[in-house]
Structure 1
Amino acid sequence: MNQRARRLLLILILLLTGCGQTAQRHVQLPNAGDGKGIIHIYSARHYNADRAIYDAFENKTGIKVVEVKGTAEELVQRMKREAAETEAVADLFVAVDGGVLQHAKEADVLQPIDSEEIVRQVPVRLRDSEGYWVGIASRARVIAYAKDRVKPEQLSTYEALTGERWRGKVLVRSSGSPYNQSLLASFIALNGEQAAENWARGIVKNLAREPSGGDRDQIQAIAKGIGDVALVNTYYLGQMLTSGDPEEAEAIKQVGIYYPNQQTNGTHLNISGIGLAKHSPNKKAAISLIAFIVSKEGQSLLAQKSFEFPVHAEAEIPEFMREWGEFRPQELDFALLSQFHQQATEMMRRAGWK
């Protein structure tokens, strides 16, 4: 090879190397070589959809994601204990309620998430004003109704379910459900204590049966004719529709959903969210995982697996979720759900809501 040919070959190699380095600079996610190769998530969510997202992140980065499951209170206490013993393990905290996320913030187990990329992807109303947590999904608590016995025009508000028309026809899960506790807490914030307690008493008076089971059980009870209306989270309908269980598929055919309070203060909306642990030993990778979860790719995967509403505006959702239609949500600071949580629990106890 002559000198000119060698010079051209060297230039070509340098150009190719430069292109490769430029491409690498555009990759936002770290890899296992960027520090510790494990992220520990303390999670009060128990959905298979989450594992699918973590697996996708692992495949992209080589960073292993380990879930530690428990109730939100157990996990917060564990994070406090580990911090006191200087053996911090948790990198991220995940919960299924805005009030719980606020509680974790107040318990001083979180730190602000410093990432413009994350802020751009999550609407302001779905994240903490000081950056301690961001929403990763939302769910509406709607009225499910029997299509053959109830006309949509007979429905209007949560408050109307306490009327004479619905005597012996209302289905709900127990007062121990955080979904019902947060719903009532939102009523305290929006309507005042007396109105909220009157609502709880009115629901108990109109129950078709003693509260039992989860939201799926309420939907199946409608299909069996036990009651005509129920309070449920939207994503359970998607889970039943795709479960492969013939009984659940048949029940879904008989049930419609209604977004209440569209002419007043909106349908109750709650969130699942994620916060950065105050003493995260792998902070950089943890923030990158949050960024992936709230990205279009992560949110599309979440919506198609859990059937919750995504926080990313461009996320792809299943067609049947589009058929649920759009709605106006409550305009409420999620921090208030924490503030009124205990009060709501006491109200339900006084009302006889088992």
Structure 2
Amino acid sequence: MKQRLVPALVALTLAAPLAFAQAEEKVLNLYSARHYQTDEQLYGEFTRQTGIKINRIEANDAALFERLKNEGKNSPADVIIMVDAARIWRAENDGFFQPVKSAVLDQRIPANLRGKDEGQGSPWYGFSKRARVIVYNKATVKPEDVATYEALADPRNKGKVCTRSGSHPYNLSLVGSLIERNGEKAAEEWAKGMVANFARPPRGGDTDQIKGVATGECGVAITNSYYYVRLLRSTKPEEVELMKNVGFVWPNAATTGTHFNIGGGGVAAHAPHRENAIKFLEYLASDEAQHYFADGNNEWPVVASVPAKNPTLDSLGTYKIENVSVAAIGKNQIAAQRILDRVGYK
């Protein structure tokens, strides 16, 4: 009998230190759709403060979604970071997040910038804000003619409008917001007007739209604010010259407010290092991390008490944010894509 117990006891003795090491492992596996070099400092500071090493996988949203589906319950992901409500909603809808209760996050992140709490906590939180703004060519377009999203679909702007693809999440979120505010019928009429006013077929990213406006190929375009600020901060002589031709307006400033979106994320559904993951999310809501978002990628902090401290970003002035929750925008993604497909918004 004793001979049979000895191997078992040895096995338990050997297993105990390993189990303890796993429980205390100071590691965080981050799956991120953010691809900004400036985030390096953000992650490095978290490791310096906590001793938790960050293992990162960075890819576009489609690649990350495919990876998470293939990994299933065996996924090593602890935290998933996405940009734009459309992507965050899809990640939640596909079951990639788990709810988290955190007094720190609930106190610092506004309710309209986090997922719905069904009693177990929020599945995701927003950590940075970006606005969907309008830029125009100063020589060919009057700012009062492009002061709202709706004005871009007006016949007076025929042949002037440039945008990126209608299937891109940034546009899906904007249409999702229009659906929430004005209803599907009005959103579809707007999309038809946009297609009728295109200066060229939708293509390229937001930087391409701004440069198209600067060169006169486009009269007006929609862009995320941080692309515009990034070009304003550029020291490249050719970009400095280009930006002299570009004007900027806060869309719908006098009415419903400008469409804002977020970068955010949550704890992965099968996170092996859950406590480390929550610590990381709470760190992203800290004053220090919020400043990184503003200074590093020209995004606004989501924590109301934290100023941006980015002179170029501040130069855009004050703004009015639309009264639409990010969760509602995400919910409308499927309807938005159907509308854009129906009207031929390629």
Calculate the TM-score normalised by the size of structure 1. 0.85
Structure 2 counterpart of 1:295: 286
Q: Report the residue type matching 1:90 in the other structure.
A: A
* Of 180-189 and 150-159, the range deviating more from structure 2: 150-159
Letter in 1 for 2:309: I
Indicate whether 1:199 and 2:197 are aligned. Answer: no
Cα distance between partner residues in 2 of 1:238 and 1:261: 20
Contact 1:297 1:315 in 2 (8 A): no
Instruction: Return the alpha-carbon distance in structure 2 between the equivalents of residues 39 and 315 of structure 1.
Output: 29
Give per-residue Cα distances to partners, 1:80-110, cap 9 Å, x unaligned.
44343xx230000111122322332232221
Q: Which residue of 1 aligns with 2:148?
A: 157
Partners in 1 of 2:46 and 2:307 — Cα distance?
17
2:340 alignment partner in structure 1: 348
Q: Deviations over 1:3-49 (max 9, x none)?
A: xxxxxxxxxxxxxxxxxxxxxxxxxxxxx998212211111222223
Whether contact under 8 Å (1:99, 1:335) holds in the other structure is no
Q: Secondary structure at the match of 1:42?
A: strand
Summarize deviations over 1:181-201 as a string: whole Å, max 9, x none: 111121122211111111111
Tell me, in whole angstroms, the C-alpha distance in 1 between the residues paired with 2:75 and 2:51. 22
The question of 1:252 aligning with 2:243 is answered yes
- Letter in structure 1 aligned against 2:272: P
AA aligned opposite 2:45: A
> Where does 1:46-65 land on structure 2 (aligned, <5 Å)?
46-65=35-54
Change (3 A) 1:33 1:323: farther
Contact 1:168 1:206 (C-alpha < 8 Å) held by counterparts: yes
The one-letter code of the counterpart of 2:56 is: E
**3-state SS of the aligned residue for 2:301?**
coil
Query: Which residue of the other structure, out of 323, 338, 343, is the alignment partner of 1:331?
Result: 323
Partner Cα distance (1:50, 1:73) in 2:
21
Sequence identity (%): 39
Compute the TM-score of the two structures, normalised by the length of structure 2. 0.87
Task: Return the alpha-carbon distance in structure 2 between the equivalents of residues 113 and 79 of structure 1.
Answer: 19
Partner of 1:18: none
Q: Is the 8 A contact 1:35 1:282 kept in 2?
A: no
The CA deviation string for residues 214-245 of structure 1, in whole angstroms up to 9 with x for no partner, is 11111111111112110011000122233443
Unpaired segments of 5 or more residues in structure 2? 1-20
Structure 1: gaps spanning 5 or more residues: 1-31
Residue identity opposite 2:75 in structure 1: A
Q: Is the 8 A contact 2:139 2:245 kept in 1?
A: yes
Match of 1:5 in 2: none
Q: What's the secondary structure of 1:110's corresponding residue? A: coil
Runs ≥4 in structure 1, deviation > 6 angstroms? none
Q: CA deviation at 1:293?
A: 1.3
Aligned-partner residue type, residue 249 of structure 2:
Y
